[in-house]
């Protein structure tokens, strides 16, 4: 086996040239596609069975090359690749063997880095641009295909309480500045590497003795502190992506430098490091908490002297009532605008500002096993204090981001994330760090058993408070009533659960026209196309409902939707919660109208084909679908089912004493017979081949099932086997048969109704673009509170039926918090697509009255709210940007916090379609009346 050459310290141009000339032919003993598939599958299975460890090596592999390899080896990727389709029951042209591995589009050109790896493009996404494979898989693929370049990455451990193993795709990138000549270098090193490792790498790069230089944290071109703790992770040293570090020559006294024994000295820098202020009033080092700080803090010392400190303009001792601060921006540390947006909204939440500007040391909970030992609360508290110091110098939230990455590895790295997801983590994490309950008691929740809702709700709230009691619960948590009803036994279950925020759906006002052809699975009528209007960003269930109304679907009937491709059923559209945007305008969608009582029966798919002059069989028309009863066992039952579903296509009228079947009518509806059992061909639209039919022909038509030539087939139309007269079939969920059309079938049936399917939306057909209408916040709330069935993946276990049921669920607001956080669900995700809604939501800035939505009879608290902050999201998925609007209550003015930039904004400008998370504060009755008078006078 040929092992890929290791990456060495050389320029990227040399590496690219080496790989370009390393185009050796593959081994003469090239394995077959099936052999390659099996070998790689075995390697992946073996790799998956071995527990992962930090340091395990993985390789980035181009996703587009990998997709070609999957197609070549006959493997379908149902999400990220185009699924191969079958034409006329025959596989299309054989997929060619992919060329050399091509990872060059993943790396940046003109790399000037020092280190063992090439620089990746920063915007790569796993599953879209690359896949990660184990070292064994990479070696085998490289042995077969050559190419490159090799992009190895190591697995690291993230997190403190909840450790997570992940591959460090983007190592820490540092800009090294040599103070001797101001020459700059780029160093790439793992953020889990130690300070000692960094010294070793710089020593090798510059040829310096480790005892004769020191490395400064040179963030923003300012000496912050000397890196002195040899075993400290670079992440814990608060080093950020792309920041500067400074190397200075110096001569330390013997034994006072980093040495092989691991002893380090807390060096006193030439320039005093700027210190931050703790709750206890003692300064700390910027790269960690000093031992004095920790001991003073947990001894419970209160703030007895004015707070001092001056890091990043932080100087609380100068604060006065008229100069409260709160106008500092947050520097972007590399796609951290999502974090800055949420943090600015939280640090401008009045109750939290009041809490963290006072001494909260007694409420730090280090014993909570699901907390962060108080470190997250401390980091957030210090960041809030810095932002509320006097002055407007932007703050670099490096310590806070470091703590965030340690306790929430999902937010580590430098990719864009969701501001609401971060907000949810922060609220929950701050609650656990500040939980006044040191040991949570076990309390069994009692059943309601018909007791009044008020009694059960209060009991549930007291149980919740007995285990969860913090400033976050006091300020941000409310309670809602959840009612579940079993659709079978009507069992009602009522629970009262706490909530931290409300996630409200956005009812879509954009519509989409879709044309669907409906086929009758019981053979009662001709197929008929229907054009329906559905929400543009709706779900399959919206299409089911609109189509059911259009075709007058009965209560005992159902619709089975499918996509038809190359005269076969490509896929069924069955999950009502899938996104409609999956269905493209150029696709052909059909619906089969079937009796609901037969839903559990075996499904019969009938595909049509005919033999051409060349002898090759070719698919034609649209497949038909019906159900076969459970008692059906023989081929005659299949023949009967085929005859039934084809009966509307008969060119001749067949009359029976009790029933007259006549077909081939333009409107697809059966016409009524006259008294003598005949049909008015002119009025009914029947296209009769002959007006006079003898009895022998009628008998042949009515018993024409033995004329069908049927063959069993598989999903791809291959491996056909003839159905003999005495054939007995198995009771599978789906039976697929092909119907051979000969001259006899063409004479008897009008196949034109099965051809020329309309597209969902005809190409070139333009519709007037309508600007999305604005929706109110109340309509979003009503959509959230409306009764609806649970999804198939979210079934409820009914205690009466002893089975999981798709129950109906109804939410009601019961208890509202002082701070109401409203999340507008602009992002939707499915297996195939991600989508963002830019719909404008009209939300009140004053006097948001929710009294009509609260079901509790308790009227002790006001249900009126006033807006004070907004987290905004601009742009699309992946490449968007976050900012925040926040109001300073003392000034009654709004400001725009866009990372480091802070500017005044008028109140009438804060309502935009970018609003993503809204922050409201309860207004007491007295304040509400005063506010109403002020705004009415302004109006």
Residue that has been written with the tokens 């106008």 in this structure: 327
Cα 134 to its chain centre, rounded Å, is 25
3-state secondary structure of 196: helix
What's the pLDDT band for 87 if we cut at 50, 70, 90?
A: very low
pLDDT tens-digit profile of 545-596? 999 999 999 888 999 999 999 899 999 998 887 888 889 888 999 999 999 8
Beta strand 775-776 pairing with 841-842: parallel
pLDDT band with cut points at 50, 70 and 90 for residue 110: low
State the average pLDDT over residues 23-40: 70
Is the pLDDT at 320 greater than 70? The verdict is no
Which pLDDT value is given to residue 859? 60
**pLDDT, greater one: 501 or 416:** 501
Q: Do the bridges between strand 225-226 and strand 213-217 make them parallel or antiparallel, or are there none, so unpaired?
A: antiparallel
pLDDT at 731: 60
834 pLDDT band (50/70/90 cuts)? low
Q: Give the range among 345-354, 551-560, 680-689 with minimum mean pLDDT.
A: 680-689
β-strands 734-741, 602-611: how paired?
Answer: parallel
Tokens 């018909």, located at residue: 450
Residue with tokens 């080496």: 18
In this predicted model, which residue has the larger pLDDT, 77 or 813?
813
Q: Would you say how long the chain is, in residues?
A: 939
Q: How far apart are CA 349 and CA 919, in angstroms?
A: 8
* Residue 268: band (very low, low, confident or very high) from pLDDT cuts 50, 70, 90: very low
Tell me which of 250, 581, 846, 881 is the catalytic residue. 881
Higher-scoring residue by pLDDT: 460, 112: 460
State the pLDDT confidence band at 927, using cuts at 50, 70 and 90. Answer: low
Give me the DSSP letters along 771-837: PPPPEEHHHHHHHHHS-EEPPTTS-EEETTTTEEE--EEEEEEEE--SEEEEEEE-EEE-SS-EEE-
Return the top range by mean pLDDT from 220-234, 346-360, 770-784.
346-360
Mean pLDDT is lowest, of 411-415, 523-527, 674-678, 885-889, for 674-678
Token pair of 1 as six digits: 């086996």
Question: The tokens 């760090």 sit on which residue?
Answer: 433
Cα-trace Rg, the chain:
35
* Number of neighbouring beta carbons within 10 Å of residue 865: 25
3-state SS of 580-647 is HHHCCCCCEEEEEEEEHHHCCCEEEEEEEEEECCCCCEEEEEEEEEEEECCCCCEHHHHHHHHHHHHH
Phi, psi (degrees; rounded to nearest 5) at 833: -135, 160
Per-residue pLDDT, 299? 34
d(CA 31, CA 141): 11
- pLDDT per residue as tens digits for the range 115-158: 446 888 887 888 888 999 999 999 999 999 999 899 999 988 87
Per the annotation, the verdict on 720 as an active-site residue is no
**Could you tell me the CA-to-CA distances from 100 to 44, 82, 141, 145, 148 in Å, in that order?**
21, 21, 10, 5, 8
Q: Which of 127, 3, 139 is nearest to 58 (CA)?
A: 139
pLDDT band at 660 (very low <50, low <70, confident <90, very high): very low
Give the model's pLDDT for residue 790. 82
Query: What band does 704 get if pLDDT is binned at 50, 70 and 90?
Result: very low
More confident residue, 329 or 634: 329
- Of the candidates 213, 214, 242, 241, the residue with the CA atom closest to the CA atom of residue 227: 214
Q: Average model confidence (pLDDT) for the chain?
A: 77
Residue ranges and CATH numbers for the domains of the chain are 53-72+98-168 (3.30.2230.10), 172-249 (3.10.20.90), 334-507+772-925 (3.90.70.10), 511-650+707-755 (3.10.20.90)
- How much of the chain, in percent, has pLDDT values that exceed 70? 73
- Catalytic-labelled residue, pool 173, 315, 337, 896: 337
Q: Is 142 helix (H, G, I), strand (E, B) or coil?
A: helix
Confidence tier at 682 by pLDDT (50, 70, 90): very low
- pLDDT over threshold 50, residue 770: no
Predicted confidence (pLDDT) at residue 309 exceeds the cutoff of 70: no
H runs (alpha helix) in 490-595:
540-550
pLDDT one-digit tens code per residue, 153-188: 998 887 766 677 888 888 888 999 998 888 999 988
Confidence of residue 382 (pLDDT cuts 50, 70, 90): very high
pLDDT-wise least confident of 124-133, 698-707, 845-854: 698-707
Give the whole-angstrom CA distance, residue 483 versus residue 453: 11
Res 255 pLDDT > 70: no
Asked if 215 and 269 count as a contact pair (C-beta separation under 8 A), the reply is no
Using the Cα atoms of residue 225, residue 230, residue 231 and residue 235 in order, give the sign of their dihedral: positive
Whose structure tokens read 């040293």? 237
pLDDT: which is higher, 371 or 390 = 371
- Report the pLDDT value the prediction gives residue 909, as an integer from 0 to 100: 94
Query: Is 80 exposed, middle or buried (CB count within 10 Å of its CB: 0-12, 13-18, 19+)?
Result: middle
Q: What are the beta bridge partners of residue 894?
A: 887, 905
Beta strands in 456-510 (DSSP E): 478-485, 492-499, 502-505
Cβ contacts of residue 724 below 8 Å, gap of 6+?
635
Catalytic-residue membership of 881: yes
């Amino acid at each position: 086996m040929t092992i890929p050459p290791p990456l060495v310290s050389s320029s990227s141009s040399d590496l690219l040239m080496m790989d370009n000339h390393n185009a050796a032919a593959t081994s003469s003993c090239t394995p077959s596609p099936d052999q390659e598939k099996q070998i790689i599958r075995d390697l992946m299975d073996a790799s998956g069975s071995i527990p992962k460890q930090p340091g395990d090596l993985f390789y980035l592999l181009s996703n587009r090359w990998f997709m070609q390899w999957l197609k070549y080896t006959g493997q379908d990727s149902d999400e990220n690749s185009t699924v191969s389709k079958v034409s006329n029951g025959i596989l299309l042209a054989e997929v060619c063997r992919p060329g050399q591995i091509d990872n060059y589009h993943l790396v940046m050109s003109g790399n000037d880095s020092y280190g063992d790896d090439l620089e990746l493009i920063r915007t790569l996404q796993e599953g879209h641009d690359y896949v990660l494979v184990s070292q064994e898989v990479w070696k085998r693929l490289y042995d077969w295909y050559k190419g490159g370049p090799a992009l190895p990455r190591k697995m690291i451990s993230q997190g403190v309480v909840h450790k997570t193993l992940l591959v460090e795709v983007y190592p820490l990138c540092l800009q090294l500045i040599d103070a001797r000549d101001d020459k700059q270098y780029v160093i790439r090193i793992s953020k889990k590497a130690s300070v000692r490792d960094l010294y070793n790498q710089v020593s090798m790069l510059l040829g310096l003795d480790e005892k004769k230089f020191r490395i400064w944290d040179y963030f923003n071109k300012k000496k912050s502190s000397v890196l002195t703790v040899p075993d400290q992770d670079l992440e814990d040293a608060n080093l950020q992506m792309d920041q500067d570090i400074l190397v200075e020559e110096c001569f330390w006294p013997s034994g006072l430098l980093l040495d092989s024994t691991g002893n380090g000295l807390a060096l006193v820098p030439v320039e005093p490091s700027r210190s931050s202020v703790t709750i206890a009033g003692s300064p700390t080092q910027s790269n960690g908490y000093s031992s004095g700080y920790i001991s003073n803090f947990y001894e419970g010392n209160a703030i007895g002297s004015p707070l001092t400190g001056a890091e990043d303009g932080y100087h609380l001792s100068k604060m006065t009532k008229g100069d409260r601060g709160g106008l500092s921006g947050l520097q972007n540390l590399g796609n951290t605008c999502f974090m800055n947006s949420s943090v600015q909204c939280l640090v401008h939440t009045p109750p939290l500002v009041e809490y963290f500007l006072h001494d909260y040391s007694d409420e730090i909970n280090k014993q909570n096993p699901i907390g962060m030992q108080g470190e997250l609360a401390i980091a957030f508290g210090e960041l809030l204090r810095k932002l509320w110091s006097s002055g407007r110098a932007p703050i670099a939230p490096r310590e806070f981001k470091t703590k965030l990455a340690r306790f929430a590895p999902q937010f580590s790295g430098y990719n864009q994330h969701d501001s609401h997801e971060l907000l949810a983590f922060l609220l929950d994490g701050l609650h656990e760090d500040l939980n006044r309950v040191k040991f949570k008691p076990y309390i069994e929740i009692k059943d309601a058993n018909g007791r009044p809702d008020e009694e059960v709700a209060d009991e549930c709230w007291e149980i919740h408070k007995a285990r969860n009691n913090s400033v976050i619960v006091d300020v941000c948590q409310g309670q809602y009533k959840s009612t579940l009803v079993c659709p079978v036994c009507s069992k009602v279950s009522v629970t009262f659960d706490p909530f931290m925020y409300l996630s409200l759906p956005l009812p879509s006002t954009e519509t989409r026209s879709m044309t669907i052809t409906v086929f009758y699975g019981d053979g009662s009528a001709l197929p008929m196309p229907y054009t329906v209007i559905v929400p543009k960003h709706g779900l399959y269930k919206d299409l089911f409902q609109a189509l059911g109304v259009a075709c007058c679907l009965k209560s005992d009937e159902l619709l089975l939707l499918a996509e038809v491709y190359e005269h076969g059923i490509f896929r069924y559209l069955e999950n009502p919660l899938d996104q409609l945007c999956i269905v493209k305008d150029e696709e052909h969608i059909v619906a089969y109208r079937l009796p609901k009582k037969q839903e559990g029966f075996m499904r019969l798919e009938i595909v049509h084909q005919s033999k051409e002059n060349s002898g090759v069989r070719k698919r034609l028309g649209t497949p038909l679908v019906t159900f076969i009863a459970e008692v059906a066992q023989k081929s005659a039952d299949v023949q009967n089912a085929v005859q039934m579903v084809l009966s509307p296509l008969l060119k001749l009228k067949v009359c029976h004493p009790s029933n007259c079947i006549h077909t081939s009518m333009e409107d697809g509806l059966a016409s009524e017979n006259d008294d003598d059992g005949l049909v008015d061909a002119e009025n009914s639209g029947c296209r009769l081949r002959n007006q006079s039919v003898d009895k022998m022909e009628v008998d042949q038509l009515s018993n024409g099932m033995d004329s069908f030539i049927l063959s069993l087939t598989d999903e791809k139309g291959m491996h056909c086997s003839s159905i003999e007269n005495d054939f007995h079939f198995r009771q599978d969920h789906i039976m697929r048969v092909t119907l051979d059309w000969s001259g006899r079938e063409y004479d008897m049936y009008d196949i034109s109704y099965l051809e020329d399917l309309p597209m969902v939306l005809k190409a070139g057909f333009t519709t007037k673009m309508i600007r999305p209408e604005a929706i109110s916040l109340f309509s979003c709330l009503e959509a959230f509170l409306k009764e609806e069935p649970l999804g198939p993946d979210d079934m409820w276990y009914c205690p009466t039926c002893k089975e999981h049921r798709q129950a109906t669920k109804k939410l009601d607001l019961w208890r509202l918090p002082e701070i109401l956080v409203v999340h507008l669900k602009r992002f939707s995700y499915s297996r195939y697509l991600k989508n963002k809604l830019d719909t404008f939501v009209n939300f009140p800035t004053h006097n948001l009255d929710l009294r009509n939505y609260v079901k509790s009879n308790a009227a002790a608290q006001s249900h009126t709210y006033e807006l004070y902050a907004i987290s905004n999201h601009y742009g699309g998925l992946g490449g968007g940007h976050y900012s925040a609007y926040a109001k300073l209550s003392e000034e009654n003015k709004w400001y725009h916090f866009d990372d480091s930039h802070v500017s005044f904004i008028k109140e009438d400008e804060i309502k935009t379609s970018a609003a993503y998370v809204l922050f409201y504060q309860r207004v007491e009755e007295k304040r509400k009346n005063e506010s109403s008078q002020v705004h009415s006078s302004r109006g």
